[in-house]
Structure 1
């Protein structure tokens, strides 16, 4: 009778243990030890199968979890991971050097609140404009948002919001979301700092010790102040817009904006039939026509007339001295 009872208990207990195999070893052994005593008592009281009196081992194991306050099967693994991480955290905090470091990091949190605002704005500008043109040429370290001054104002506004977010007491979910945002910004700091380094790669020291940041121009197109030139509008000394003016660089090469092919761009040819790609300003036909709607259109600028200055060669010092000597009695 005792052997049969033990076999029934062992068989049922094996099924219960299999249903609890996702629990930490200590929790599982404590539950099984208590259950075995209870199963032994039930087996001695009656010869009825334990599955009839208690239900299937899986169902009985689920009841044990609930009564012990343990998570259902499937969530236990996450709970075990959470406990493991908690134990690791406690062990780390027990180290003598950890708390001073944490105290220092907490004291400099406001610096991070400002830094993450700068990172956020810089990352958005970098994604939108690319490395070239993402930074102000007049205000170092400031992202170019229309202008350097506007970029500085945007960073200031976002920094105020970031500080307010850091000072606010958030719930658990909000804190986790904020940690995720901080982690993304830390990763974004790599391309942002790389772009900033490229934009200020060459530094020219002037005689008056001022520093001028010179960005390396791209290989294609014509650029000025971080923007690509899409057209050129020449004006004469009286401030009148000129048309079909051919421009060359210092080596006599035709100025080419390298804008690629555009069937709507008005083409200009010289007398030999060769296209004059350096004739400015460029004009465009209305879509589907060969008509330029406004041939005299120009940028919205006021061009004041120039003050004439003499352009004749000045006399050499020797000639000046000779003339002076001849004029002296």
Structure 2
């Protein structure tokens, strides 16, 4: 409220504010800022110190003026104080709304810090499920009553007073900017975080991006819709809490570098969630049989073991296995294993088990073994012996005397 207004103008503005006190605090401050500017203009036109009657003659009573503001902005008319039955319905609706705004976001926060994708998806679905279920039950408890009657309950009145107290600590110009600029920005951010976070539970980046964009558009529509129908607040307030919890939690998880649930969805190295495929693989391709050969290209029959002495086995694929003459999961570490050969028609399994034939012959010809190369050491060149003064047969030594 503009502190420069004095006298009858300030009193008129105070009564207008009382008539509009049922509006949400943020929107109330936005409306009062416009009212303050309008009253300042009217006061300037009426003279230096207009009376309360002058303002009423020009603008109508504070209630009439407030009703005109409601109609122009699309707000519903002010309700009369709630009766006893209405207060009970409002109390139940408020309790369910509090559950939706606390329990649901709590499970969503747990999902963010889950150590595996499966737990992230589980707690995320539980959180959003509780949120929407409690919100729906709250609206059903409210029945056909005006949603603003929750402010007439003792708990609702205390909460509204606390919120107004916090808002009054913010300077007038900052409050105005937060409503006019911050609110639309928050609608977009809320929709992107809410929808993007939900689709991130399923780990598909492309779906997450599309969902975030669609969520932003839906969030803006819901924000505008909520200004006309306060019942949407039972869904909007819990989703606001989720968005307010998810942003710092996600940033904290990213800063800590931990393998939290949402981060694992996008390729973080989480070895605890890696489950190697069954059987043998080579470069990612399954190995169904092994054909050993010696250096001369002769096929061998061998038994294979790993470095710990554990047999390297594969399920048998012969006729007995295909025709269920033994358990299907019977395996062996003797290679090559017998496999079914095609019949004259090219079919690998005949209708008659007695006609089925096995073979252990490799279906390919191995390439020649690489020729082993041997390195030849060069013959060392003999080093001539140093002269000793003795004559060697066939060698003449000439010695010069020294003086």
Asked if TM exceeds 0.5, the reply is no
TM-score class, shorter-chain normalisation, is 0.3 to 0.5
Which structure would you say has the larger RCO, counting Cα contacts within 8 Å and 6 or more residues apart? Answer: 2
Q: Which has the larger radius of gyration?
A: 2
Output the TM-score relative to the length of structure 1: 0.37
The structure that is helix-richer by fraction is: 2
